[in-house]
């Protein structure tokens, strides 16, 4: 018995010894003794590995045993070390520049560079490698760092030194402004489905924040023809081995080298033409198999990128099976500057422990990302053991210093001190921006409008004030739910009418209840196509009163909820007393010889009431679905993602007679199908909206109940998918039936990027078509041509309703 017990103890001790992990660490330098940043460290014949940090330091956790460890970096000759792990070891590595041989290549004068045939072979293999792996899972680690490299002392009157101190920067306003790490389990299934579950998360300067870096966002795949880096580029970027790549790139053979029994060809790629969405740099392609071995590519401003000056992407592939290669690491590095600010940084991802073609459920990919509440609770000991890229001294100091700041920022005394400074009342705040009183600790906010921006002018009320207050209270921090209450008071100094209303939004479980009650002066067009500010400006400076208003006393309530996935529904009921209003003021600064139009849009020269006083009670049911149930799960709740499919919306409004004294009697059924920014590759993107509806019953319909449209008659217009450029605000409204269509093509700069000087502005060409037909206006059509810069849009449009009824005008949308 003792012998068996002794054997059992020995087995337990042996198992424990085998399970114990040790650390292999060191520094990777070049032949000059300088660090090689972000070199790759791999265990041969596995997908287990790590990366050096920006100072060339690395760590790799290994169980006891003997391993062949590979040390490699793009542009350097690979080094291999056979290590016997019995405890922690330090091995420093010096990498020599890779020597690419050319002696076996003969290029005749005027002949084609051999790189072209290599690239053609890679292009022929592209689709096969793109679909080679049906599915996989792997462990990922992502690290992101952004640094302020320079900043002015003041900007727009604000003291940048004070902001810099709050961010933890040094006295020269330099230092790390963002540092985060995360670990995830990533699953992939063809053709483009990802599911990612975050395992751990750490953000410098916040004990409660989560790193929302997605491994799928950094899973760059140059086997795709186009790289869609939304936000960073107006147009998709062309891969150096895309099907049409030879029309966009020049290639030069730089030699070959041998690595692990494979011949690696180094190909230099340069754009054929500047200002195309193309890369510059090197792509490494394996002989015979024509796979991508690694890439070292750069984008500059000439490629049309936004917000930054340069982006460098480096990616290395590894064999995870004998004939299957997948990315081991990818790194994005960027620099940029604007208005005296200069930034730089990187995001790096490590992919390891691949499992090829595992058994995965299609249903699991409905959830794209999962972040649970405990992923940011891992302590420093966990991260020391777990992170594959060791921290630099600067990053260690940043974590330590900002941990102290974070603890201070979350304390009640600190939050109270911030609130005390923020909540100070002043005459300028009261007049201009409004009063904003915050209690950060209790997460409640009280806000008022600025007094001066609350003043407006229209011919119905003359000078008027429309002043609002609101109260917001977070009632569920986990689900990120808020109670919202508000009120408004409105008074016209010429017609001497006082109006007021209260409103609120209350979340209860899966439902959101809303209410709004009181009285107001409102637009005849319920889509509010012209803002009070635009109407005030047009009236006072040009003596053109576009907005037509009426008096409304009302009480409305609604309830909405997500039925399932991206299927949402809202039920609304409203009763109202509605009265037509006459003009009472005719003041303007200029053009006093012109005559203001009447408040009736159909009798502009005569103040004839558009409708008699009436009461209405109506019920509306609206539902929408975008044909996708993809979502992400965060500690604050589930959030559904935009679909690549159009959104279908259905609406039914019933005007009910004799309920609460209601005079109306009608039924309106409408539907719409819409989608914004459908990618068309190098041709940019297209957006569309199609809407149709019919009054099934129009026994008693007042103009306020008509179907209205988002028209426009001034140079500053409100852009929307269903907006017209020059349609009259009220003439197109109908009580019968309608069909409208809107189409916008954004070419992303495909033409303007080729024009010198102009291409520096990164303008995007726009073509817009709008159409409306009703029994009254027949076929109304608009064509608009123009450009877009960020959110700023300029269009010149033409409208046609018949051969004798057409007009043209400029339209500008300033983006807010």
Domains of the chain, with CATH numbers?
Answer: 20-95 (2.60.40.1120), 133-409 (no CATH), 443-663 (no CATH), 678-816 (no CATH)
pLDDT of residue 5: 36
pLDDT of residue 110: 65
d(CA 703, CA 664): 11
The SS3 call for residue 417 is helix
Q: Quick check: 17 pLDDT over 60?
A: no
pLDDT of residue 108: 56
Question: Looking at 9-23, 420-434, 493-507, which range is the least confident one?
Answer: 9-23
d(CA 723, CA 711): 6
Highest mean pLDDT among 105-109, 325-329, 333-337, 768-772: 768-772
Report the DSSP beta bridge partners of residue 342: 150, 337
Average pLDDT score over residue span 635-654: 91
Residue 472 sits at the vertex; the CA angle it makes with 467 and 473, to the nearest 5 degrees, is: 160
Task: Give the residue from 260, 326, 267 showing the smallest Cα distance to 49.
Answer: 326
Residue 313 sits at the vertex; the CA angle it makes with 309 and 317, to the nearest 5 degrees, is: 180
pLDDT of residue 4: 37
> What percent of the chain stands above pLDDT 90?
65
Q: Quick check: 9 pLDDT over 60?
A: no
User: Can you give the pTM of this predicted structure?
Assistant: 0.88
Residue 12 pLDDT level (bands cut at 50, 70, 90): very low
d(CA 759, CA 751): 9
Q: Sort 338 into a burial class: Cβ within 10 Å, 0-12 / 13-18 / 19+.
A: exposed
Task: Give the pLDDT confidence of 542-569 residue by residue, as tens digits.
Answer: 999 999 999 999 999 999 999 988 899 9
Residue 404 pLDDT level (bands cut at 50, 70, 90): confident
Mean pLDDT of all residues belonging to the chain = 89
Average pLDDT score over residue span 17-26: 73
Task: Give the pLDDT confidence of 729-766 residue by residue, as tens digits.
Answer: 999 999 999 999 999 999 998 898 888 888 888 899 99
d(CA 800, CA 138): 58
Say if residues 575 and 616 touch (Cβ distance below 8 Å). Answer: yes
Q: Quick check: 1 pLDDT over 60?
A: no
Question: Looking at 43-57, 397-411, 779-793, 797-811, which range is the least confident one?
Answer: 397-411
Encoded tokens for 735: 């009580």
d(CA 485, CA 470): 6
Between 596 and 420, name the one with better pLDDT.
Answer: 596
Residue 521 pLDDT level (bands cut at 50, 70, 90): very high
pLDDT of residue 760: 81
* Phi, psi of 418, rounded to the nearest 5 degrees: -65, -45
pLDDT of residue 207: 60
Q: What is the largest CA-CA distance in the chain?
A: 116
Q: Quick check: 212 pLDDT over 80?
A: no
Task: Give the pLDDT confidence of 445-455 residue by residue, as tens digits.
Answer: 999 999 999 99
Task: Give the pLDDT confidence of 316-330 residue by residue, as tens digits.
Answer: 999 998 789 999 999
Residue 627's region, left for phi above 0, alpha for psi from -120 to 50, else beta, is: left
pLDDT of residue 413: 75
pLDDT of residue 318: 92
Task: Give the residue from 608, 518, 801, 578 showing the smallest Cα distance to 706.
Answer: 578
Cα–Cα distance list, 738 to 382, 692, 709, 720, 781 (Å): 63, 6, 10, 19, 14
List the helix and strand counts (H, then E) for the chain. Answer: 8, 43
Between 3 and 396, name the one with better pLDDT.
Answer: 396
> What percent of the chain stands above pLDDT 70?
94
d(CA 29, CA 276): 36
Encoded tokens for 326: 């997948």
pLDDT of residue 576: 98
Q: Quick check: 185 pLDDT over 70?
A: yes
Residue 452 sits at the vertex; the CA angle it makes with 451 and 456, to the nearest 5 degrees, is: 110
Contacts (Cβ under 8 Å, ≥6 apart) of 491 = 464, 465, 497, 498, 499
pLDDT of residue 478: 65
Residue 385 pLDDT level (bands cut at 50, 70, 90): confident
Task: Give the pLDDT confidence of 151-180 residue by residue, as tens digits.
Answer: 888 877 777 877 777 777 888 888 888 899
Average pLDDT score over residue span 717-721: 89
d(CA 67, CA 132): 29
Q: Quick check: 243 pLDDT over 90?
A: yes
């Amino acid at each position: 018995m003792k012998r068996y017990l002794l054997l059992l103890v020995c087995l337990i001790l042996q198992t424990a010894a085998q399970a114990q992990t040790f650390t292999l660490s060191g520094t990777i330098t070049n032949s000059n003794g300088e660090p090689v940043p972000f070199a790759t460290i791999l265990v041969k014949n596995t997908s287990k590995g790590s990366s050096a940090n920006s100072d060339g330091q690395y760590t790799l956790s290994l169980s006891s045993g003997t391993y062949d460890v590979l040390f490699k970096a793009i542009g350097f000759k690979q080094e291999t070390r056979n290590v016997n792990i019995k405890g922690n070891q330090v091995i420093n590595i010096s990498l020599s520049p890779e020597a690419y041989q050319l002696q076996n290549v003969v290029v005749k004068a005027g002949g084609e560079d051999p790189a072209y045939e290599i690239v053609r072979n890679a292009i022929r293999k592209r689709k096969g490698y793109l679909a080679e792996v049906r599915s996989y899972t792997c462990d990922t680690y992502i690290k992101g760092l952004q640094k302020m490299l320079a900043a002015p002392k003041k900007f727009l009157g604000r003291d940048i030194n004070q902001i810099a101190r709050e961010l933890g920067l040094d006295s020269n306003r330099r230092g790390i402004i963002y540092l985060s790490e995360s670990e995830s389990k990533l699953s992939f299934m063809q053709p483009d489905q990802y599911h990612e579950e975050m395992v751990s998360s750490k953000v410098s300067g916040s004990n409660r924040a989560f790193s929302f870096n997605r491994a799928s966002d950094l899973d760059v795949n140059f086997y795709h023809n186009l790289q869609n880096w939304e936000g960073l580029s107006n147009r998709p970027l062309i891969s150096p081995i895309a099907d049409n790549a030879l029309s966009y790139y020049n290639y030069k053979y730089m030699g070959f080298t041998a690595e692990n029994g494979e011949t690696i060809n180094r190909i230099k790629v340069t754009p054929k033409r500047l200002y195309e969405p193309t890369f510059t740099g090197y792509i490494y392609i394996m002989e015979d198999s024509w796979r991508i071995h690694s890439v070292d590519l750069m984008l500059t401003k000439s490629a049309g990128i936004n917000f930054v000056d340069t982006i460098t992407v480096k990616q290395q592939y590894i064999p995870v099976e004998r004939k299957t290669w997948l990315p081991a690491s990818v790194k994005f590095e960027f620099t940029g500057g604007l208005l005296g600010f200069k930034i730089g940084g990187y995001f790096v991802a490590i992919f390891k422990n691949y499992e090829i073609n595992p058994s995965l459920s299609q249903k699991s990919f409905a959830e794209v990302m999962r972040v649970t509440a405990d992923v940011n609770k891992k302590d420093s000991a966990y991260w020391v053991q777990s992170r594959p890229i060791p921290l630099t001294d600067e990053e260690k100091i940043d974590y330590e210093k900002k941990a102290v700041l974070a603890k201070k920022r979350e304390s009640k005394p600190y939050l109270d001190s911030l609130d005390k400074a923020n909540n100070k009342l002043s005459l300028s705040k009261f007049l201009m921006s409004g009063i904003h009183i915050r209690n950060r600790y209790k997460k409640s906010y009280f806000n008022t409008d600025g007094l001066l921006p609350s003043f407006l002018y229209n011919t119905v009320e003359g000078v008027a004030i429309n002043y609002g207050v609101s109260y917001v209270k977070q009632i569920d921090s986990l689900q990120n739910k808020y109670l919202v209450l508000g009120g408004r008071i409105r008074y016209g100094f010429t017609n001497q009418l006082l109006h007021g209303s209260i409103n609120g939004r209350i979340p209860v479980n899966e439902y959101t209840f809303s209410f709004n009650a009181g009285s107001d002066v409102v637009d005849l067009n319920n889509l509010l196509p012209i803002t009070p500010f635009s109407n005030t400006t047009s009236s006072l400076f040009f003596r053109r009163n576009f907005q037509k208003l009426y008096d409304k006393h009302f009480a409305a309530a609604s309830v909405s909820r997500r039925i399932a996935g991206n299927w949402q529904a809202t039920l609304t009921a409203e009763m109202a007393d509605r009265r037509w209003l006459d003009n009472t003021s005719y003041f303007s600064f200029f053009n006093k010889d012109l005559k203001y139009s009447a408040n009736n849009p159909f009798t502009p020269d005569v103040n004839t009431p558009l409708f008699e006083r009436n009461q209405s009670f109506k019920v509306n049911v609206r539902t929408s679905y975008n044909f996708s149930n993809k979502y992400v799960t965060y500690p604050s709740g589930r959030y559904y993602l935009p679909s690549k499919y159009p959104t279908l919306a259905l609406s039914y409004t019933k005007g009910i007679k004799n309920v609460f004294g209601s005079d109306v009697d009608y039924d309106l059924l409408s539907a719409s199908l819409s989608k914004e920014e459908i990618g068309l590759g190098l041709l940019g993107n297209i957006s569309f909206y199609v809407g149709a509806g019919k009054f099934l019953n129009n026994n008693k319909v007042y103009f306020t109940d008509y179907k209205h449209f988002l028209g426009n008659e001034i140079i500053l217009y409100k852009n929307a998918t269903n907006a017209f450029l020059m349609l009259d605000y009220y003439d197109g409204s109908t009580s019968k039936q309608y069909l409208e269509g809107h189409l916008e093509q954004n070419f992303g700069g495909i033409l303007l990027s080729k024009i010198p000087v102009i291409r520096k502005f990164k303008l995007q060409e726009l073509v817009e078509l709008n159409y409306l037909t009703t029994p009254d206006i027949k076929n109304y059509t608009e064509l608009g041509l123009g450009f877009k810069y960020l959110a700023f849009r300029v269009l010149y449009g033409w409208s046609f309703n018949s051969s004798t009824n057409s007009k043209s005008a400029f339209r500008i949308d300033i983006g807010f």
